[in-house]
Structure 1
Amino acid sequence: MEEVDKILILALKQVGTELSEEVGSVKDFTSELIVEAVVRCIRVIDPGLGSPLPTSLPPGMSARFRVGMSLAQACQDIGYKGEIGYQTFLYSSETEIRSLLMFLVEKLPRENAEASDQPTGKSAILQRAIAAAIKAQLVEPWLPPNCRLPLHGETQSLGVMHSFHKQPLSLPYCIKDPGKKSLKEVKDYQRDFLPPVTAQLAHNATVAASLLEQHTAELSVAQEWYNEWNSQGLLSRLTPQDYRARKLTRLRKRIEEQLRSAALPPTESAFGGLGATSDLSDILQSFRGSAASAHTLTKGSHFTHSQKFTFTQETEAVPSPARRTDDNHHSQQEELASLQQQFQQLCSDVDQLTTELKHLSVTNAQVLDEFKQRERQNNELEEKIQLKKKTVDLLPDAENNIVKLQALVEASAQRVVNLASQWEKHRAPLIDEHRRLKEICSNQDMESSKKLSEIKVLHDKIRVSTEEAKKKEEIHKQLVTELESLPKDVSRAAYTQRILEIVSNIKKQKEEITKILSDTKQLQKEINGLTGKLDRTFAVTDELVFKDAKKDESVRKSYKYLAALHENCNQLIQTIEDTGTILREIRDLEEQIDTENSNKTVANLEKILEDYKAIRQENSALAAKVREG
């Protein structure tokens, strides 16, 4: 039992039970220690059931009885089938406590179940440590700044808090552009002149935020490229470099088209330009709006340039505010009003001219369309006229021309027939070749689609295998960390050796028991054989002596002595059997006495009497309070 107790004590320590070094077996457990161990195990097995249970016994006897009943009910709810009650915890028995603790330890969740339900790795351990620190800080009461001790000042001060502000970083190993090789000059600069991350920022408080933002952006770019390549890149049947080059070329063409369409005037972009509107053209058009039209270089008429030149000269002739005086303030106000009026007049003229220009542009476009349509109609009429003219030229010699036309038609028909026959000769092998090539192309397409699907399946398998490998690596790291955190004096090999020794001892005991049972069976057979032989011998002897006893007096006495000897032997055998039965009963009683002694019956009775006296005192105190109230 010592090995079992050591295993139980180690398991209870792992769930958080505070056990001193003096506790070496279950018989050393006190009632408080038993309650704490059972509650810790229940909290690990079923947190909802074990959270309301206290880990220590209250001072009052009635409260102790209630706690014992609650613990017994919780153990039954978990699935314990043995006899259990408040007396199991208050007046403990070694065997009952050992069986209860063995049941609870077997019910504890295993490491593999915990590893599958909880996140693994050093990050998970760090997160659990952070959560424990936050819980510990939340438990502490909040104090005003004037009442804080130095410890509370460190945990509740606002001095360590900073806003989440990020700044751009330059990292030597950046994955924002996957697949792009760095130049030798860039590598030399990063190796020799690039400052570290902490030196690139103005404040040390922004290091964490900047690194998090940088890594998040890199991971998002890598994930987007991975998804795009698996969805569209594989279907294009190009290499990653060719796919990126084609994508870059398309993007450049699109930007050039948008810039070209946005750089044209409104009339040209509406009627003679590309005619495509997009977000980029809208943005560029907003930059060319009415507010910034004065700063852009656009084409205009001679009248517009002369008006702008006159307006700029007149505005430049206005004196600056720094040179104004109180004497000419009124004249300057009038001059400013006249200039504003002129400016408004010029603006209205410009708007009117712009409207007329748009109208003229529309009219010009309509005229151009009408001109093109009329030109097409003229061309069609000219073709018809030429045909009719040739027909009229042929009318004077109609008969000869008809004969010639018939000859030409027949020759053309014959030539068409010859060409058709020649075409049929060439057509059949070409059709066969076309069918063969088409079949080959279809087979190649099927093979390529099949290989593409296989590639996708392999990519999925690779992704799943990678995720599993990462999970296993994290589990391995967590197990290594937990192994390093475990006490070094505990050896798994020692436990394995102890278990093997226990198994070997059990095997030896089983062999000895089997040997004893076989010896007992053999002795029983011998006893049965001797008893039968004795009965048969006595029957034969009795029959022979009884025949001679009728004739001889001495033989009659011998017969009486024989009967008395047989009866005494039977009594002796019965006495021996009764002695063996009594010895077995004595051993059973001794075992029961040892069991009762191990159950601490006398100590429990004394403790029960003390608890009974304490309950009577509590009842009398409560009755006195009731009478006083």
Structure 2
Amino acid sequence: MEEVDKILIHALRQSGTGVAEDIQSVKQFTSELIVEAVVRCVRVINPALGGGLSPSLPPGMSARFRVGMGLAQACQDLGYKGEIGYQTFLYSNEPEIRALLMFLVEKLPRESAEASDQPAGKSVVLQRAIAAKIKAQLALPWLPHNCRLPLLCKTQVTLLNQQHRIPKCGFCSSREYQRDVLLPVTAQPPHRGALVASLLEQHTAELSAAQEWDSEWNSQGLLSRLTPEEYRSRKAARLQKRIQEQLSSAPGTPSPGSGGAGSGGAGSDLAQLLLSFQGAGPGDLLPKGTHFTHTQKFTFTQVSPTHSPTHSLQVKRQTVELLPDAHNNLAKLQTLVEASAKRLVGLAAQWEKHRDPLIQEHRRLKELCTNQDVESSRQLSEIKDLHEKIRETAEKAKKKESVYKQLISELENLPKDVSRSAYTLRILEIVGNIKKQKEEITKILSDTKELQKEINNLTGKLDRTFAVTDELVFKDAKKDESVRKSYKYLAALHENCSQLIQTIEDTGTILREIRDLEEQIETESGNKTVANLERILADYKAVREENSALGSKVREG
């Protein structure tokens, strides 16, 4: 416990408790020092909870009881599960105080040690000032700008976020504009207080846009097999095409009677806008046709009437000329038809000769494309997995870097006067002692098991021996009187042995209970029960005297 007490005392000193140099153990703590240590720790752990607690004990006993109850409630609010009350602080008990202080020291934040000993730097002072300013502004009620008094107008400024023009790399003209014309970022907002909020909002917007682009590129851009510039240009072209389709499918200029009052101006503006997009006159604004209208148009379109009459007068004239020699003309026509049929058969055979290798080549190329698509999909999935692994590795590296920096800062803030080797040797000695104790306990348990096993074997052997002896003697006891007396003596001997064994077991149980009671007596002696009872009686008498004094003052008043 000496090492534990040294660690506790060192941590308490770091938290601001005035522990004297001659105090080396929790056993030496007084009630005043215990109260101060607990209050300091509670204030560091939870300033709101420990702000109303006093680090010193008042002289009156009633006030001391109230302070003890308040400290007990504060420790329970922090999550302490052990038994605690006013008696823990007023009538100190070494094990309870040590357990309570260990709980509080474990709850202390990491940076509390250096924050109490080292002076606050400029960054710490600035952070505290910012936090105090924000708390003060949050505490004020918000009012509209026209309802504010002059004092509130100074404390509550309407901050309007504004888009800033931040210099970027570009052409020479833009660099000249940024150098000669563009105002600094700090001079662009109308209110000085709106600068930080505007910059944060603009940075957040740019960061979210970059994250959206990364997500879109990893999900859709890689599948397109395009470069990022080509993907952006194609996306912009698709967007522009959709806008044009939406504008072209909009209805034309409304008639004067179709709109309500005041609709002529809006309709004319819309028409002019459509004209500017399509580059045609008002009569060329046609609504976008549907699939049904296109099908109907191509299916039922008739031949232009300007060409059909001439073609039908030429067909009739040629027919009339062929009528006189109809038989020969029919034979010639039949010959031409047969020749055309043969030529078509030959062309079909030639086409089949050319078609087969083309079909085979088409199938081969199609299969090759399919294999390439599969391979591309596989490579794309691998690329996605690699991107995900890279992202996870980067996040792990950032976390490890932050942990490394935190550990470095904690190492730098550790006290340099403590010998690490001494602590290491002491820890090794403690571990060695624990190992030896474990070996001794294991040896005792194994010896106990062996003894219990031997006892069980002897008990079983005794029972079996008595059973065999009882059976043999009982057979002869029916015939001989002396054997009958021997059987009675044997039964009495067995019963006496059983009673003796039971007496030995009861004696062992009583000895164990005696040792437990002695340990409890030592524990109670260490708790200073008698001294605490005497202190309680003295405090009780003091409280009665205080109550009598207060009662006499009330009667006199």
Secondary structure (helix, strand or coil) at the match of 1:159 reads helix
Q: How much does 1:239 deviate?
A: 0.7
CA deviations 1:153-208 (Å, max 9, x no partner) are xxx875354321345543234xxxxxxx7335645765788664335566644433
Residues 53, 71 of structure 1: 8 Å contact kept: no
**For residues 293-314 of structure 1, what are the alpha-carbon distances to aligned partners after superposition, in whole Å with 9 as ceiling and x for unaligned?**
xxxxx99xxxxxxxxxxxxxxx
**1:201 touches 1:207 (CA, 8 Å); kept in 2?**
yes
Residue 391 and residue 131 in structure 1: after superposition, are their counterparts in 2 closer, same or farther (change >3 A)? farther
Q: 1:427 maps to what in 2?
A: 355
User: What residue in structure 1 maps to residue 132 of structure 2?
Assistant: 133
- Size of the aligned set, in residue pairs, is 427
Which residue in the other structure is 1:497 paired with? 421
Q: CA deviation at 1:613?
A: 1.5
Q: Is the 8 A contact 1:166 1:209 kept in 2?
A: yes
Does 1:170 pair with 2:165?
Answer: yes
Q: In structure 1, what is the equivalent of residue 510 of structure 2?
A: none
Q: Confirm whether residue 506 of structure 1 aligns to residue 430 of structure 2.
A: yes
Q: CA deviation at 1:438?
A: 0.5
Q: CA deviation at 1:421?
A: 1.8
1:240 aligns with 2:228: yes
Distance verdict in 2 for CA 1:93–1:457, change over 3 Å:
same
Could you tell me how far apart the structure 2 residues matched to 1:475 and 1:41 are? 26
Return the alpha-carbon distance in structure 2 between the equivalents of residues 265 and 76 of structure 1: 74
What are the equivalent positions in structure 2 for 1:430-445 lying under 5 Å apart?
A: 430-445=358-373
Are the equivalent residues in 1 in contact too, given 2:137–2:155 (CA < 8 A)? no
Residues 496 and 409 of structure 1, relative CA distance in 2, 3 Å threshold: farther
The change in CA–CA distance for 1:433 and 1:249 in structure 2 (over 3 A counts) is same
Residue by residue over 1:471-530, the C-alpha shift from the partner in whole angstroms, topping out at 9 and shown as x without a partner, is 44455556666667x4x6x14x9364343132244367679999999xxxxxxxxxxxxx
Alignment deviations for residues 383-435 of structure 1 (CA, whole Å, 9 cap, x no partner): 55655554444333222122122212211221222222222222222111111
Q: Distance in 1 between matches of 2:270 and 2:93?
A: 89
Distance in 2, matches of 1:477 and 1:402, equals 105
1:12-56 residue CA offsets vs partner (Å, 9 max, x unmatched): 467xx53025365434534344345446767999999x7899565
Question: In the aligned structure 2, how far is the partner of 1:617 from the partner of 1:28?
Answer: 30
1:310 alignment counterpart: none
Paired residues of 1:68 and 1:85 also in contact (CA < 8 A): yes
Q: Give the unaligned 5+ runs of structure 1.
A: 113-123, 143-155, 174-180, 269-281, 290-297, 300-356, 362-368, 518-584
2:394 aligned with 1:399: no
Q: Does 1:99 align with 2:99?
A: yes
Residues 577-617 of structure 1, C-alpha deviation per residue, up to 9 Å, x if partnerless?
A: xxxxxxxx9xx99x969x96x76678646643431112212
Taking a change above 3 Å as real, the CA distance of residues 197 and 405 of structure 1, as seen in their structure-2 partners, is same
TM-score, structure 1 length as denominator? 0.52
How far apart, CA to CA, are the structure 2 residues paired with 1:221 and 1:392? 81
Structure 2-normalised TM-score? 0.57
Residues of 2 paired with 1:228 and 1:514: CA distance?
A: 62
- When residues 469 and 433 of structure 1 are mapped into structure 2, their CA distance, relative to the original with a 3 A threshold, is same
What letter matches 1:172 in structure 2? P
Give 1:502's aligned amino acid.
R
Task: Name the amino acid aligned to 2:545.
Answer: Q
Q: Secondary structure at the match of 2:167?
A: coil
Deviations 1:230-255 (A, max 9, x none): 34422322111222333455566778
**Residues in 2 aligned to 1:468 and 1:287: alpha-carbon distance in whole angstroms:** 58
Larger of the two Rg values belongs to structure: 1
2:90 aligned partner: 90
Contact 1:230-1:456 within 8 A present in 2 as well: yes
Unaligned runs of 5+ in 2: 112-122, 142-150, 256-265, 274-279, 287-296, 442-514
The one-character-per-residue Cα deviations of 1:112-149 (angstroms, maximum 9, x if unpaired) are 9xxxxxxxxxxx9999857852586489999xxxxxxx
Asked if the contact 2:159/2:194 (under 8 Å) is kept, the reply is yes
| Higher RCO (C-alpha 8 Å, min separation 6) | 1
Distance in 1 of aligned mates of 2:207 and 2:438: 69
**Matched letter for residue 410 of structure 1:** E
Question: 1:3 touches 1:498 (CA, 8 Å); kept in 2?
Answer: no
